[in-house]
Structure 1
Amino acid sequence: MVQQPDGGRRSPLNRDRVLRAAVALADAAGIDSLSMRNLAQELGVVPMALYKHVANKEELLEGMVDVIVGEIDPPDLDTGWKTGIRQRILSARRALLRHPWASRVIESRSQPTLLVLDYLDSIAGTFRAGGLSVDLTHHVMHVLGSRVWGFTQELFPASPLPAEPEAHAAMFRELAGRYPHIAEIATSGAHDEGSVVGRGCDDQFEFEFALDLLLDGFERLHQQGWQSGNRS
């Protein structure tokens, strides 16, 4: 249950309290557990009371995304565009790691909220303030895609591994026999028990590695005066 203020007095219900309680519920029990009825129970109100602040479940989810966006650090205007973008994207990643359900909800939104548009505009504005052309910034934003939010769609889907060492070893022998190159790269990386692609990858390293490659590439294209119309 949502904690009540000291003295047992319930704070007035408002949109911010509803959204933050929804985020806390999703954090604790998963996004699939979130319903207007469950949220009302957490807040100690009847479900109809929520509809004064959010019109429906979709508006609730949009507001929850806004809460996450609000956790992303503001831009640092003194670091230069490349460092500034890196810092903001890694701040977005930290926010999403605190709320593992958030990437799924972000991907499900068909229309961005005003706060989401503010964030995206700020990212594009940082590139423009760094001197990147409108043309290059347009393509840069496409390339970054979901990395702007601190997550990527991984190449290999996560799958449970056998707990028994013998079964684990047998699985990899079978994998190596049929897919030698996949087995080779899967067993070569740093180990991260929480990796979304299994125990062969360090998610944070892979994310930063890709982000840095992209930022270096953007910088090189900017320095070369790249234009999309000059492709050969």
Structure 2
Amino acid sequence: MPDPSQTQTSQTQTRLPLSRDRILVAALAYADTHGLQALSMRKVAGDLGVEAMSLYNHISNKADIIAGITDLVAGEITLPTPDFDWKGEMRARSQSAHRVLVKHPWAAAQFQAGHPPGPMMMTYLDATLGCLMAVGFTPAQADHARNTIDNHIYGYTLQKLTRPTRAREIARAAKKELKSIPAASYPHLHRRTEELANATSAEVDDFDFGLTLILDGLDALR
């Protein structure tokens, strides 16, 4: 029969020390699974097997957790590098950001919430500006370009998370909508909705379509 004192000592030795990083990783997993509104200090502490009060040695409050996990998400995005093919770099960066934000469904709104940027977010922003400025954009132009691209990323991501995106799902939704769009009153809208209702394969991806228009337009500014 094991000695209880030895078992307790073993558990103490194997238990990982609580840290800000551990708390944020646990909070990120919780937010991805249950949503940001369900996130709380108590629930994160429960997942870590500690008392909620112990978190306050490392985290100020829920807002601090949200800012921290938002910064972790920024750290997952592929960074652009100064390159002659700046449009290719910005496209790769944009596609990566879109994938990451879909993976963390709560994060797109937080990227726009005005949190003071953490170190990973600042690295992400700095690399983006650096890529654009390296090919001739002024600092102001680079910042406007970044904002325009990011607005496209965030808007499309939120749409993808709330609306059907597969051809079959779009066709099913269009067939339902078509009944409430009389051709005599709305001929152009009816025609387009009818096309979508009868589509059997995906059309041009809206994300890449919009991104191409933005990048080509920005190219004319240099």
TM range (shorter): 0.7 to 0.9
More off after superposition, 174-183 vs 60-69: 174-183
SS at match of 1:175: coil
Residue 149 of structure 2: aligned partner: 144
SS at match of 2:180: helix
Counterparts of 1:33 and 1:141, CA distance in 2: 32
Would you say the 8 A contact 1:176–1:182 is kept in 2?
no
Residue 112 of structure 2: aligned partner: 107
**4+ long deviations beyond 3 Å:** 76-79, 153-160, 165-171, 176-192
| Structure 2 counterpart of 1:27, from 32, 43, 46 | 32
Residue 181 of structure 2: aligned partner: 175
SS at match of 2:18: coil
| Structure 2 counterpart of 1:42, from 42, 47, 50 | 47
1:18: how far off? Answer: 0.7
Q: How does 1:55-94 map to 2 (within 5 A)?
A: 55-78=60-83, 80-94=85-99
Q: How does 1:181-220 map to 2 (within 5 A)?
A: 181-188=188-195, 205-220=205-220
After TM superposition, the score normalised by the length of structure 1 is: 0.72
Residue 127 of structure 2: aligned partner: 122
1:111: how far off? Answer: 3.0
Would you say the 8 A contact 2:109–2:154 is kept in 1?
no
Unaligned runs of 5+ in 2: 1-9
Change in 2 beyond 3 A, CA 1:151/1:187: farther
1:90: how far off? Answer: 1.2
Counterparts of 1:152 and 1:82, CA distance in 2: 20
Q: Which amino acid aligns with 2:205?
A: F
1:201: how far off? Answer: 7.8
Change in 2 beyond 3 A, CA 1:16/1:176: farther
Counterparts of 2:19 and 2:173, CA distance in 1: 53
1:108: how far off? Answer: 2.6
Change in 2 beyond 3 A, CA 1:201/1:182: farther
Residue 4 of structure 1: aligned partner: none
Counterparts of 2:212 and 2:173, CA distance in 1: 37
Residue 228 of structure 1: aligned partner: none
Q: Which amino acid aligns with 1:124?
A: L
Unaligned runs of 5+ in 1: 1-6, 193-199, 223-232
Q: Which amino acid aligns with 2:104?
A: H
After TM superposition, the score normalised by the length of structure 2 is: 0.75
Would you say the 8 A contact 1:23–1:64 is kept in 2?
yes
1:76: how far off? Answer: 3.7
Would you say the 8 A contact 1:36–1:50 is kept in 2?
yes
Question: Quick check: which has more Rg, 1 or 2?
Answer: 2
